[in-house]
Chain A
Amino acid sequence: MHTKTFVAAAVGLGLITLSACGSSSGSGGSADSRTVTLVSHDSWAVSKNVLADFEKQSGYKVHVLEDGDAGQAVNKAILTKDNPQGDVFFGVDNTLLSRALDNGLFQPYEAKGAGQIQAQYRVDQDKHRVTPIDSGDICVNYDKAYFSKHKLAPPQSFDDLVKPAYKNLLVTENASTSSPGLGFLLGTAAKYGDNGWQGYWKKLTANGVKVVDGWEQAYTEEFSGSAGGKKAKADRPLVVSYASSPPAEVIYSHPKPKTAPTGVSYGTCFRQIEYAGLLSNARNSKGGKAFLDFLLTKEFQDDMPLNMFVYPVREGAQVPPEFVKYGPQAKDPETMAPTRIAASRDQWVKSWTSLVLK
């Protein structure tokens, strides 16, 4: 499959012994200069051998602290910014970027390899407080089997979703508690504008959209195209998820299917970009800088997609064949400037809640 199966057993054993001891220095951040501490959300993942390579080459030991979901991790980092828990923060996305920058979470650093970042992802060019690391598209996924069985073409755009043919088929997430749910709302706001999105949601509600709280429930319980949904006899063939979900359905199936059971409606996508940055007041800023450089290396960017189900931002990084085949990136996704998100998001979510949930 890929090289991860050939992980050095020694590393594994070492880690197990460490974790069995269960002790830790109990220090915030990296007290000694040989350790670099990464603060992230709980979707952070990297292949062991790739991380081991960095440790070997740089001489730093990496300590990872996963601090809840994306929103929580950012909020905790802001709360503790005077006395941070680590040196580098990974995982603030464009919906939260302004909050992090306005609160002075990061100090400037231009990572080595910043020149290799695809132009569309570059931000904060004058100060370099954050570095883009990966991107993903929040899009409607459809259950192929359902649509071929009913001889119905799957919806391809936001406009399609409110057509009578697709009545009672879509399940989405609560915009106030779930990042794909918020992304979908922002996508409609970007598409229809400040004055138009509410009218769109009124139509969507009239067309029987179902809203559940989180992605897990929407995808594994309500969506008929997912493995969990099939078991649960789910009856919604459309779900708000990611462009990388169909590849995941293929990769995580036993035995591997010949083709993905689900597809992506590419006219419903919202682009999400994740950034990393050097925390203000980091104790080991030298190590933090080295780690930021590492996040942009070809080795890490190649390794990332199958670990976190995101797309690399580096020019020429490898995208796994399953991604290319079943879930390539959207060509023309909806996007929105972080400042505009910060200015309107709370108001939008509030209006959305009273419009859709009450």
Chain B
Amino acid sequence: MAVPVAFFALFFAWPVAAIVARGLKVDGAWQFGRIVDVVAQSDIRHVLWFTTWQALASTALTLLIALPGAYVFARFDFPGKQVLRAVVTVPFVLPTVVVGTAFLALVGRGGLLDEMWGVRLDTTVWAILLAHVFFNYAVVVRTVGGLWGQLDPRQEEAARMLGASRFRAWRRVTLPALAPAVAAAALMVFLFTFTSFGVVQILGGPTFSTLEVEIYRQTSEIFDLSTAAVLTIVQFVAVGAILAVHAWTVQRRETALRLVDANTTARRPHGAGQWALLAGVLGTIAVLLVLPLAVLVQRSLGAPGFGYYRALTSEDGGIFLVPPIQAIGNSLQYALAATAIAVVIGALAAAALTRRDAGRLVRGFDALLMLPLGVSAVTVGFGFLIALDEPPLDLRQSWILVPLAQALVGVPFVVRTMLPVLRAVDARLREAAAVLGASPWRVWREVDLPMVRRALLVAAGFAFAVSLGEFGATVFIARPDNPTLPVAVARLLGRPGDLNYGQAMALSTILMVVCAVALLVLERLRTDRTGEF
């Protein structure tokens, strides 16, 4: 418990407090009056309103579209399932700058929809909502589907035998078991869309602004730190409130589940209804997730003989001190380090949270760990600059800062993915082991670990993928001899000329493939020896 708390305090709480204090403290006195001033402004209120409703709408839409997908991935067996599971996760890790470009090609002028039906959605809210679904589809499929696959279908069958209708059996047996995972997924999606930045900027045009965009503007462009500090506090309070509600609902619903090996629950679809469902889900994935990615690939192949890809290996671009291709290695190194940190910290936190004697304070920490998801990268980044600038902790130019910042975002994923499974482990098993003389460590190793191994891998996959596409924190320590993939893409897009645009598309394609391969390896790694119980 001490390790996650220290990590959290040092690399999150302190930097954020430092930057907020810088904005709100004038000559050592807190200017809390500023809060009222800022929130009273009509354009700030407008931003707050828009932020909230688009996040609600995005979350609802994502659940609506992705829950059938979660079911299909959990219960059906079909060829290419593993590949597809990796593919749907790719959008989640792509940098927003790439996604924005891809979506414009789809819903913008001269895009696919425009050519087929003359429909243009760019600079409308619909483009933002669809892009949010594109990003977050995987969150629902992996969080909900992961648990769904491990629920024993025989429980539902037993209810049917006892005379319950199919729907009632699902409502009474499966739904309560799934609820925490659905809540967790919905919460994550809400957090991501509530703090959405790149998508809103690129697709919404300048007319739509979220709280996150406003904080960025006030900090980076206008340099009005006091307004930025107020907005940070507002976002903090909002996110905190959401998390508190969520923690409460999850606690109300914890039941020990009987988890089984996911491989035994997935069947080939049978009957017209199931085939139709499968076809529907696959169709949705093709249109919503694969199509925008395909557009990127197609544009990266625009030059004869893989010209854009060949250009990546030359040092002639003058943008970096190394060929852009080097960025791949950098990204992988950072992501591996970040994953290691996130998994260790997250697993320790999750283990501490599921102990029987965990008090209210510890449970509150669960919600606290999620806070980094709700605080803008620019706030944390600027906080790092003024907080971590004294030896022994002058990390401002150290490479470790990148994985640390990425791990901050990764930890909540690890915790959220592991908690539902860990909490579902029957405590009596642990007690029995303890009675038989096993040390706490051994109990964890022999009882919990086999059950959560799969969740741990899924969590690691997520943390890895998040780090790979993470852009905000990486920019703060962007040394030109060490660019990551997303940073390199953004740089290339920032320069005129066909070759740069093409190279950006080619790098995006490579990023996609690297992510897909990494995720696929994880899928293969999942040894489903979930022990004998």
Contact = CB atoms under 8 A, between A and B. Distances in A.
Contact of A42 (B109, B385, B491, B501): B491
B104 A232 contact: yes
A79 B315 contact: no
Given A99-B223, A214-B201, A28 B396 contact: yes
A68 interface: yes
B223 A78 contact: yes
A72 B220 CA distance: 5
Contact of B496 (A64, A65, A248): A248
A165 interface: no
Nearest to A248: B496
B205 A235 contact: no
Contact of A65 (B303, B397, B399): B397
Nearest to A96: B223
Contacts of A216: 97, 493-494
Interface string A1-24: 100110100001001101110111
B493 to A, nearest CB: 5
Nearest to B302: A231
Contacts of A43: 494
B475 interface: yes
Given A45-B318, A45-B319, A307-B318, A28 B498 contact: no
Interface in A213-257: 213-217, 219-221, 226-228, 231-235, 241, 245, 248-249, 251-254
B18 to A, nearest CB: 10
A1 B220 CA distance: 38
A291 to B, nearest CB: 16
B326 interface: yes
Contacts of B502: 227
B45 to A, nearest CB: 14
Contacts of B217: 176-177
A243 to B, nearest CB: 12
Contacts of A212: 205-206
A48 interface: yes
A306 B493 contact: no
Contact of A221 (B108, B222, B316): B108
A64 B479 contact: yes
A67 interface: yes
A254 B206 contact: no
Interface string B93-134: 000010011001100111000000000000000000000000
A336 interface: no
A43 B43 CA distance: 32
B527 interface: no
A245 B496 CA distance: 7
A215 B494 contact: yes
B385 A79 contact: yes
A64 B480 contact: yes
B389 interface: yes
Contacts of A1: 316
Interface in A197-215: 211-215
A16 B206 contact: no
A311 B307 CA distance: 30
Interface in A76-110: 76, 78-80, 83, 85, 99
Interface in A51-72: 64-69, 71-72
Candidate in B330, B395, B397 with the most chain A CB atoms within 10 angstroms: B397
Contacts of B399: 22-24
Interface string B73-109: 0000000000000000000000001001100110011
A48 B315 contact: yes
A28 B389 contact: yes
A15 B496 contact: no
A80 B480 CA distance: 20
Candidate in A28, A85, A211, A226 with the most chain B CB atoms within 10 angstroms: A28
B315 A83 contact: no
Contact of B109 (A99, A233, A346): A233
A309 B481 CA distance: 20
Interface of A: 1, 4-5, 7, 12, 15-16, 18-20, 22-28, 42-45, 47-48, 64-69, 71-72, 75-76, 78-80, 83, 85, 99, 174, 176-177, 211-217, 219-221, 226-228, 231-235, 241, 245, 248-249, 251-254, 306-307, 309, 346, 349, 354, 357-358
Given A24-B398, A248-B496, 16 more contacts: A15-B321, A19-B326, A24-B397, A26-B395, A26-B398, A26-B400, A66-B479, A75-B223, A76-B382, A79-B385, A177-B221, A212-B205, A226-B496, A231-B501, A232-B108, A245-B496
16 contacts: A16-B322, A22-B399, A24-B399, A27-B397, A48-B321, A64-B479, A64-B481, A65-B397, A68-B476, A83-B390, A85-B385, A85-B396, A213-B201, A214-B201, A227-B497, A357-B206
- 3 closest residue pairs by CB, A with B: A252-B497, A233-B110, A227-B498
Interface of B: 22, 43, 97, 100-101, 104-105, 108-110, 201-202, 205-207, 217, 219-223, 299, 302-303, 307, 315-316, 318-319, 321-322, 326, 329-330, 333, 382, 385-386, 389-391, 394-400, 475-476, 478-482, 491, 493-502
